[in-house]
C-alpha cells in the first residue's frame, strides 16, 4: 500500500500544526508508524486515503459515527439546513425539536442544553453538579476519558495515556486537589474514597461502560454501589454517555442498568457526525442553569442549526428496528474471529466487548481496569494494527481505544475483517 500523499501532507502539517495533528490521538506514534494516514473521503463503511487506498473503517471517528460515512438522510438534512444559513445566534425550531426528541428517548432527563463537544458537555455538567451541591470535589475513575478540560485530565485514559501523558502539564495544583481518581471496578477503593472525602464530593463522574481503556463493562453491582455511595454522602452521579448513548441502545444505557443517575453528558453520535455536546438532567437540577439560575454556560455555536439537523436525522435513522441487534451480532463475529485466531496461534489476548463495539489487547489477564490495559503489550498491538492496516482495515491507532461497528458495515465487510484478523494473527505467530 502506497502512502506517498500522507507522507507529504504530514511533512507539511508538521510545519504549521503542532505535531501535525489537531488531536493527538490521530498520530500513529503508539503503533510504530512515522506517519498517520490522511483520509480524503468516506462513504458508508469505507474511508479512502489521500493515496486512494480503501479501508473498512472501525475507527468510526472515535465512535461519533454509528451510521457510517455520509448517511444519505444525514447528508440531505445538512444540505437542506445549510441552504438556510449556517448559524443565527438566535433560538431555532430545530433545537426545540431535538431537545424534545432527546428527552422523549431518555426519559430520566427533563431538559437538556446543547453545546459543541463532549468536552464542553462534561465541563459544564461538573459545574452544574458543583452548583447543585455547593461542593467542589469530583470522584472519577483512572483511565476514564471525559474530554480535555482541566479537571478531567487528571488520570485520564484514551489519547493522553496513549502518549504516556496521564496528567497533563498546565493544570493548577488547586484543580488537581479537587479530583479524586480511583480504579474502575474496584469497590474497596471506591468505599475508601467516600469514607475519606464523602462530605466534600459534588459528584461521581463515570463512563457507565468504559470505552477509553478498551471496552470495559462494569463488573456486576459496581454502578449500583457507586450510586448508593453517592446517595449516602449526598453527591450526584454524572453518567458520561458521550460514547454509550445511542451506541448500544436507542437512548441512554440506563435502559439496560435501570439505575438513577442525576446528570447525563452526550456528544459524538447525537450530532450525526457534526460537532455537538449536550448535558441534561431532571428539571430541578437544570433550573440552576442561566438564565433560570445562577450557573452560567454559553456558546456562540451551541445548538447550531447544522448539528441539530444532522442529529435529528441521525436519531431518526437509528430508529430502524433491530439495528442494535445487528451491530452486536457483527461485533460478536469479530470477537469470535479474534478469540479463535488467538487460540490457534497461541497469542494471549483479552477482548473487551459490549454490543457493537470491541477492543483487542495483548495480555493474558482479564482487563477490568486502567492498570490492566496499561499492562497489555503495546508493541504487539502496534504490530497487529500495522498488519490490519496493510489489509485495508482501519482500527484506532491505540490499545486504549475501541473498534466500533456501524450500521453501514455489511456481512461481507465483517467476513473480510474476520479473515484479516486470522491472517494477522498468523503473521504475528511467525514473527
Ligand X SMILES: Cc1ncc(COP(=O)(O)O)c(C=O)c1O
Nearer to ligand X, 162 or 417 (CB): 162
Please say whether the beta carbons of 158 and 119 come within 8 A. no
Please say whether the beta carbons of 123 and 150 come within 8 A. no
Give me the catalytic one of 140, 268, 391, 399.
268
By CB under 6 A, tell whether 247 contacts ligand X.
no
Please say whether the beta carbons of 39 and 26 come within 8 A. no
Helix axes 323-345, 411-430, angle to 10 degrees: 20
Q: Which stretch binds ligand X (CB under 6 A): 70-78, 142-150, 188-196, 313-321?
A: 142-150
Confirm whether 49 is a catalytic residue: no
The footprint of ligand X on residues 55-74 (CB under 6 A) is 62
Tell me the closest approach of the beta carbon of residue 7 to ligand X, in angstroms.
27
Confirm whether 46 is a catalytic residue: no
Q: Which stretch binds ligand X (CB under 6 A): 90-98, 145-153, 252-260, 349-357?
A: 145-153
Of 47, 45, 63, 82, the closest CA to residue 313 belongs to: 82
Of 64, 72, 35, the closest CA to residue 50 belongs to: 35
Residue from 27, 53, 94, 119 binding ligand X (CB under 6 A): 119
Nearer to ligand X, 204 or 347 (CB): 204
Residue from 218, 267, 305, 382 binding ligand X (CB under 6 A): 267
332, containing H or E segment: helix 323-345
* H-assigned helices in 346-410: 370-375, 378-390
Confirm whether 2 is a catalytic residue: no
Residue nearest ligand X, Cβ-based: 118
Q: Which stretch binds ligand X (CB under 6 A): 170-178, 207-215, 289-297, 355-363?
A: 207-215
336, containing H or E segment: helix 323-345
By CB under 6 A, tell whether 214 contacts ligand X.
no
Give me the catalytic one of 145, 184, 248, 324.
145
Give me the catalytic one of 49, 178, 240, 413.
240
Helix axes 222-233, 187-197, angle to 10 degrees: 10
Nearer to ligand X, 61 or 328 (CB): 61
By CB under 6 A, tell whether 108 contacts ligand X.
no
Q: Which stretch binds ligand X (CB under 6 A): 126-134, 141-149, 296-304, 353-361?
A: 141-149
Q: How many residues bind ligand X (CB under 6 A)?
A: 17
Please say whether the beta carbons of 1 and 390 come within 8 A. yes
Residue from 117, 160, 304, 380 binding ligand X (CB under 6 A): 117
- Tell which phi-psi region holds residue 26, choosing left (phi > 0), alpha (psi between -120 and 50) or beta: alpha
Nearer to ligand X, 158 or 417 (CB): 158
CA distance 51 to 37: 9
Please say whether the beta carbons of 81 and 94 come within 8 A. yes
Please report the sign of the dihedral spanned by the C-alpha atoms of residue 183, residue 22, residue 56, residue 426: negative
Tell me the closest approach of the beta carbon of residue 191 to ligand X, in angstroms.
24
- Work out the end-to-end distance of the chain between its first and last CA atoms, rounded to an integer number of angstroms: 21
The footprint of ligand X on residues 167-206 (CB under 6 A) is none
Which residues carry out catalysis?
A: 145, 240, 268
Binding footprint of ligand X on the chain (CB under 6 A):
62, 117-119, 122, 145-147, 158, 207, 211-212, 240, 242-243, 267, 277
Amino acid at each position: 500500500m502506497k502512502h506517498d500523499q500522507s507522507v507529504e501532507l504530514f511533512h507539511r502539517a508538521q510545519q504549521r500544526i503542532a505535531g501535525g495533528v489537531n488531536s493527538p490521538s490521530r498520530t500513529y506514534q503508539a503503533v510504530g508508524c512515522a506517519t498517520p494516514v490522511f483520509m480524503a473521503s468516506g462513504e458508508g463503511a469505507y474511508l479512502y486515503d489521500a493515496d486512494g487506498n480503501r479501508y473498512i473503517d472501525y475507527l468510526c471517528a472515535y465512535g461519533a459515527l454509528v451510521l457510517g460515512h455520509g448517511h444519505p438522510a444525514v447528508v440531505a438534512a445538512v444540505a437542506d439546513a445549510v441552504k438556510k444559513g449556517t448559524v443565527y445566534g438566535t433560538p431555532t425550531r430545530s433545537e426545540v425539536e431535538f431537545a424534545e426528541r432527546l428527552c422523549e428517548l431518555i426519559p430520566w432527563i427533563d431538559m437538556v442544553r446543547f453545546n459543541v463537544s463532549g468536552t464542553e458537555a462534561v465541563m459544564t455538567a461538573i459545574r452544574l453538579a458543583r452548583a447543585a451541591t455547593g461542593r467542589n470535589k469530583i470522584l472519577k475513575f483512572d483511565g476514564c476519558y471525559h474530554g480535555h478540560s482541566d479537571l478531567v485530565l487528571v488520570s485520564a485514559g484514551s489519547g493522553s495515556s496513549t502518549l504516556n501523558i496521564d496528567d497533563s502539564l498546565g493544570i493548577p495544583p488547586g484543580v488537581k486537589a479537587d479530583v479524586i481518581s480511583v480504579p474502575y471496578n474496584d469497590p474497596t477503593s471506591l468505599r475508601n474514597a467516600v469514607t475519606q472525602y464523602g462530605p466534600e464530593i459534588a459528584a461521581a463522574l463515570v463512563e457507565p461502560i468504559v470505552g477509553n481503556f478498551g471496552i470495559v463493562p462494569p463488573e456486576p453491582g459496581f454502578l449500583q454501589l457507586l450510586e448508593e455511595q453517592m446517595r449516602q454522602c449526598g453527591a450526584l452521579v454524572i453518567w458520561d454517555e458521550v460514547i454509550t448513548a445511542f451506541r448500544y441502545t436507542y437512548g441512554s444505557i440506563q435502559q439496560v442498568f435501570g439505575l438513577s443517575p442525576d446528570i447525563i453528558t452526550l456528544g459524538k453520535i447525537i450530532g450525526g457526525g457534526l460537532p455537538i455536546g449536550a448535558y441534561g438532567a431532571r428539571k430541578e437540577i437544570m433550573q440552576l442553569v442561566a438564565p433560570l439560575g445562577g450557573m452560567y454556560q454559553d456558546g456562540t455555536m451551541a445548538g447550531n442549526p447544522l448539528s441539530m439537523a444532522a442529529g435529528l436525522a441521525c436519531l431518526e435513522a437509528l430508529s430502524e428496528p433491530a439495528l442494535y441487534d445487528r451491530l452486536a451480532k457483527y461485533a460478536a463475529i469479530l470477537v469470535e474471529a479474534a478469540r479463535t485466531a488467538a487460540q490457534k496461534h497461541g497469542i494471549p489476548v483479552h477482548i473487551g466487548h459490549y454490543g457493537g463495539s470491541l477492543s483487542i489487547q495483548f495480555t493474558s489477564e482479564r482487563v477490568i481496569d486502567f492498570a490492566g490495559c496499561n499492562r497489555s503489550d503495546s508493541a504487539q498491538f502496534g504490530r497487529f494494527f500495522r498488519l490490519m492496516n496493510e489489509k485495508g482495515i482501519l482500527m484506532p491507532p491505540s490499545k486504549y481505544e475501541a473498534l466500533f461497528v456501524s450500521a453501514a458495515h455489511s456481512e461481507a465487510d465483517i467476513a473480510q475483517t474476520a479473515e484479516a484478523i486470522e491472517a494477522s494473527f498468523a503473521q504475528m505467530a511467525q514473527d
